[in-house]
Amino acid sequence: MSSESLVPAVPRPVAPARRAWTALAVLVLATALCLVGYLSLTAHGRWIGGAVPKRWNADDFSVQRGTARLGKDGLTVLAPDETDTVVISLNTAFRSSDYPVIAWRAVNVPDDVQAALLWYSDYKSSRMSTRALTVEAGQIASVDLGNDPDWIGTIGGLALVLRGHFSQPVTVRGVIAKSMTPGEILADRVREWLAFEPWNGTSINTVTGGANVQELPLPALLAAIAVLGSLIYAALSRWAPRAVGSFRPEVIGYVFLAAWLLLDARWQWNLARQTARTYERYAGKSWQERHFAAEDGELFAFIERAREQLPPVSEQAPRVFVVASANYLRDRGAYHLYPYNVYFDPWQDTMPPASALRSGDYLVVYRRAGVQYEPAERRLRWDGGVPIAAELLLADTGAALFRIL
């Protein structure tokens, strides 16, 4: 035996380019492991083949209770019935075992509205089964009925029940019966990650990274992939140094950098789409036209008409009270009325005390229930309180301007 054979093997130094390829390889491996693990926990259907998802659009619906209008965006629920209930139904015919998950596509659902799913099957055709639904971020979360004892046989009909006071119209765009195969689940996650996320009041602080409601947020997945990839690399550098070389901290840095770049690329793509939409909405318009095109365009149009009924702004300008059910509408209404002497409650849906109002004050009411006016007697009252003398100066759908007498 020669003396050279007793010398322990020392791994060769890894070139910078090879370190980057090593980081990419462990990132791909970690991604595959994370996705396979996630699909193993969530998929109910077969990995190869399986039932194709069934979809129904708004024109397949029938409104059993409440008032709704069919439009290009879907079925818009305008008002519930006298019991504050809306029922939307459709006829179906599918095997419950093939489709364990039902997902209603609805937007602008108020948080205080209760939602439920109704269905009947040929196994228990004499009675209707029900399951409560969760409302998240103005949408109805999908429901897994795979373990429900009543989800059996052939489902002959589905219905969506909404109960509560509707502060704004709710749009129901469709419903999907999901087979929950791995391919379908992965396609749903990709659509959620790549969904356009328009700017809103919280975008200055946080960006979700896709759809408002996600089963698997992309930042969480990439964080798990980066951590797992770092552990895989550390293990390989310890027990298989000939394959990846000795441990180099910069390889782990490359892994986390790649994950961060993927998130940033998604954000930049969303920013490009937002820029295009903003340009389409506001480019080439006057300042008034831009306000009309904004999210509160209807409110701005009403305030502009109200301004014509108000006296000129001066040191003796009257007090103007703004009331609305939504905080956003009160805030924006007051903003559009400046520099008048505006009063509003930024935190709660309150009305000014009748005793605090005096002759010459103005009251702007915008989408606020409980306000009643008797034009013959020129008496105004709200929330069952004491009526006061007032003159109606301007009226529109859900909005009015009064001058206190």
Residue 8 pLDDT grade (very low, low, confident, very high; cuts 50, 70, 90): low
**Distance between CA atoms of residues 270 and 200, nearest Å:** 13
State the Cα–Cα distance between residues 274 and 368, nearest whole angstrom. 32
List CB contacts of 328: < 8 A, sequence separation 6 or more. Answer: 201, 296
Query: How far apart, in whole angstroms, are the C-alpha atoms of residue 395 and residue 363?
Result: 12
Give the contacts of 178 (CB within 8 A, at least 6 positions apart): 53, 99, 100, 101, 102, 103, 142, 184, 188
DSSP lists the bridge partners of residue 133 as: 115
pLDDT in the model for residue 390? 92
**In this structure, what token pair is assigned to residue 39?**
């699909």
Between 123 and 401, name the one with better pLDDT: 401
**Dist CA 105 CA 172 (whole Å):** 6
Question: What residues contact residue 85 under an 8 Å CB cut-off, 6+ apart?
Answer: 65, 66, 161, 162, 163
Are the C-beta atoms of residues 343 and 320 closer than 8 Å to each other? yes
- What letter would DSSP give residue 119? E
* Angle in degrees, 0-180, between the axes of helices 182-194 and 249-282, rounded to the nearest 10: 60
**d(C-alpha 167, C-alpha 30), whole Å:** 46
In sequence order, what E strands does 72-153 have? 74-79, 85-95, 101-107, 114-121, 129-133, 135-136, 139-140, 143-144
Q: Do residues 329 and 321 make contact, with C-beta atoms less than 8 angstroms apart?
A: no
pLDDT 10s digits, 185-202 = 999 999 989 988 887 666
Read off the pLDDT band of 7 (50, 70, 90). Answer: low
Residue type, 401: L
Q: Are 89 and 117 in contact (CB under 8 A)?
A: no
Q: Which residue, 99, 97, 92, 93, is CA-closest to 180?
A: 99
155 pLDDT more than 90: yes
Tell which residue, 101, 155, 157, has the closest CA to residue 133.
101
Count the helix, strand and coil residues of the chain and give each as a percent rounded to the nearest 5. 35, 30, 35
Locate tokens 């704004």: which residue?
Answer: 168
User: What band does 204 get if pLDDT is binned at 50, 70 and 90?
Assistant: low
Q: Residue 244: what pLDDT?
A: 83
Tell me how far CA of residue 228 lies from CA of 65, 224, 332, in angstroms. 52, 6, 47
* 283 alpha-carbon distance from chain centroid: 27
With tokens 């693990």, the residue in question is 37
Q: What is the mean pLDDT of the chain?
A: 88
User: Pick from 73, 164, 74, 152: which is nearest to 116 by CA?
Assistant: 164
Q: pLDDT tens across 312-359, in order?
A: 887 777 899 999 988 888 999 999 999 999 999 988 889 999 888 999
258-272 per-position pLDDT tens digit: 999 999 999 999 999
Euclidean distance between the first and the last CA atom of the chain, given in angstroms as a whole number: 113
Helix/strand/coil for 104: strand
| Mean of pLDDT values over 292-301 | 89
* Tokens standing for residue 386: 């004491």
- CA 85 – CA 62 distance, rounded (Å): 14
C-alpha 33: how far from its chain's center?
30
